[in-house]
């Protein structure tokens, strides 16, 4: 007698975490009928409004046949909404039939079947199928597979050679019977149907495994995006959780291993062409008739679903890869912005400290990156420096008789943007003489204080020739400490056309 406790432990996960938990819920039959009629295909997604409308129409039809009785003072729309809430609820140990996600493009919630709901509906679909007894062709195929496995796993070389010679002998005898016209001479429809059924049973279940992979990867990618939006986990933790789920789905599960091993052959163009050519040759055989022909059509349909399932898996993997790439880019951008903000704060702190303590070579600046302090530069030069005294205005008296014309355009354009701005401001509000010419110095003196800074115009004013007699002009400038400082140069007169040219060319 077996251990009943061990059997209970085997059954507990089936009932508590398996699909039976959904099938044993109250109104499970009604829920499955509504979901089957609303979702076509079952892997699709529907907005909440559309799903409630389909539920409402289905409830009206069920009420007419007596399969559904609405509650008192409750409309069909309210009943549909309540059923949608019940199907999406997850609590008290119950699993949800539906899962929703926010579509950022349409700003609507999209509902879809959960993976557990898919398995529950698929379990019912298998119970609906007609059961078949083990045929002779299927039994022979099982024996052939076992014999082939024994041949490959035999460690004794002599025994393996004996098995190979036996197989060669059987093949030669089969060739001899075919040449004599004895092989398949009396092949009936049942035998042909058994041969085709072996292929059909081999392919059955493969589209379901592929759909399981699509659902698992879709849920895994949705969890990845929800964690990104919630922000309650770090980027490394989100990626680790995603890759763990991916490994369990594609490497540790049976469907994932079959996808990575056997199904990779079907993905290639050569593998598909080989399968299609073989099916085309089978379809041309004269033995196909009746049920065997219908089975071959089912095989074609199964292969079409397998091809679509393979593409769906690859497409879902690409969607998840895009989400992972977006998360990695988000992490990189966040690190860059954080480093840039920290660097800007450091620069501001250093500038403020330098202004508060000017020319303090012994004062270290805390950067937070290292504890080392940079030594101050030596104040004594390695060799004697040749100092040149900057000439002042008094030193230019020798050129007082210089009456050469001043090229104002070249001086302003060569002086940079500050001189161009000065010329533009003077052009807007010039001081003109009686002959229509513009007095540059008088126009400059009426500019605002922040536009008459000496440090920005010292090169321009130094290049001006000195005054000669009454032909002088005074430029009222402001020094760095805000004090007024006057520069006396020759009077500079120009016309509006030249200022316009300077503004355009500068």
- Characterize 283-297 residue by residue with b for buried, 16 or more Cβ atoms within 10 angstroms of its Cβ, and e for exposed: eeeebbeeebbebbe
Name residue, tokens 């016209």: 181
For residue 57, give the H/E element and its range. Answer: helix 48-65
- Phi, psi at residue 484, to the nearest 5°? -75, 140
Which 8-state DSSP code applies to residue 113?
E
- Whether residue 84 contacts residue 55, with contact meaning beta carbons closer than 8 Å, is answered with yes
10: left (phi over 0), alpha (psi -120 to 50) or beta: alpha
Domains of the chain in sequence order: 4-127 (1.10.10), 188-349 (1.20.58), 406-505 (no CATH)
Residue 350 CB neighbours (<10 A): 13
Spell out the per-residue pLDDT of the chain, length 506, in tens: 457 777 777 777 777 776 787 787 788 888 888 998 888 777 778 888 899 999 999 999 988 888 888 887 888 888 989 888 888 887 666 788 888 877 767 778 888 888 788 878 877 877 765 545 455 556 666 777 787 777 777 878 888 888 888 888 888 887 887 777 765 555 566 667 777 777 777 777 777 777 777 877 887 787 777 777 777 777 778 888 888 888 887 777 777 776 776 666 666 677 778 888 888 887 777 666 666 777 777 778 878 888 887 788 878 888 787 777 777 776 676 666 777 778 888 888 877 877 787 777 666 555 544 444 555 555 555 555 555 554 444 444 444 455 556 777 778 777 777 788 888 888 888 888 888 888 888 888 888 888 888 877 777 887 777 766 667 888 889 887 788 888 888 888 888 888 888 777 65
- Angle of the 417-428 helix axis to the 496-505 helix axis, nearest 10: 140
In angstroms and rounded to an integer, the radius of gyration of the C-alpha atoms of the chain is: 45
């Amino acid at each position: 007698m077996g251990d009943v406790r061990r059997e209970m432990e085997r059954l507990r996960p089936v009932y508590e975490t398996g699909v039976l938990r959904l099938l044993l819920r109250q109104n499970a039959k009604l829920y499955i009928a509504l979901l089957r009629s609303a979702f076509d295909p079952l892997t699709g997604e529907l907005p909440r409004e559309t799903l409630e409308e389909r539920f409402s129409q289905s409830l009206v039809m069920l009420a007419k046949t007596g399969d559904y009785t609405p509650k008192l003072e409750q409309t069909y729309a309210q009943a549909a909404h309540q059923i949608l809430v019940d199907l999406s609820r997850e609590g008290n140990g119950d699993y949800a039939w539906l899962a929703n996600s926010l579509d950022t493009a349409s700003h609507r919630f999209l509902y879809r079947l959960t993976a557990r709901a898919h398995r529950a509906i698929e379990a019912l679909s298998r119970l609906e199928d007609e059961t078949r007894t083990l045929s002779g062709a299927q039994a022979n195929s099982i024996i052939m597979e076992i014999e082939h496995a024994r041949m490959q796993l035999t460690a004794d070389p002599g025994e393996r050679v004996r098995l190979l010679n036996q197989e060669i002998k059987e093949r030669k005898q089969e060739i001899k019977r075919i040449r004599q016209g004895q092989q398949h001479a009396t092949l009936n429809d049942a035998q042909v149907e058994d041969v085709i059924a072996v292929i059909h049973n081999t392919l059955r279940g493969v589209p379901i495994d592929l759909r399981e992979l699509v659902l698992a990867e879709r849920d895994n990618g949705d969890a990845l995006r929800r964690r990104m939006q919630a922000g309650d986990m770090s980027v490394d933790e989100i990626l680790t959780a995603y890759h763990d789920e991916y490994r369990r789905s594609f490497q540790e599960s049976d469907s994932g291993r079959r996808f990575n091993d056997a199904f990779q052959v079907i993905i290639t163009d050569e593998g598909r062409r080989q399968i299609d050519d073989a099916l085309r040759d089978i379809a041309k055989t004269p033995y196909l008739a009746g049920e065997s022909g219908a089975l071959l059509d089912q095989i074609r349909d199964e292969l079409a679903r397998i091809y679509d399932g393979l593409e769906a898996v690859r497409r879902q993997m690409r969607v998840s890869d895009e989400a992972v790439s977006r998360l990695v880019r988000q992490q990189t951008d966040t690190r860059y912005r954080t480093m840039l903000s920290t660097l800007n704060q450091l620069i501001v702190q250093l500038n403020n400290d330098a202004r508060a303590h000017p020319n303090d070579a012994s004062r270290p600046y805390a950067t937070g990156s290292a504890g080392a302090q940079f030594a101050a530069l030596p104040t004594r030069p390695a060799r004697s420096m040749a100092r040149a005294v900057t000439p002042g205005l008094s030193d230019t008296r020798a050129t007082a008789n210089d009456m050469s014309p001043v090229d104002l355009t070249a001086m302003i354009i060569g002086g940079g943007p500050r001189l161009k701005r000065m010329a533009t401001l003077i052009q807007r509000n010039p001081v003109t003489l009686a002959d229509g010419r513009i007095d540059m110095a008088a126009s400059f003196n009426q500019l605002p204080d922040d536009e008459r800074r000496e440090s920005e115009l010292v090169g321009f004013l130094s290049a001006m020739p000195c005054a000669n007699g009454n032909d002088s002009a005074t430029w009222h400038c402001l020094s760095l400490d805000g004090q007024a400082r006057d520069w006396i140069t020759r009077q500079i007169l120009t016309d509006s056309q030249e200022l316009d040219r300077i503004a355009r060319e500068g």
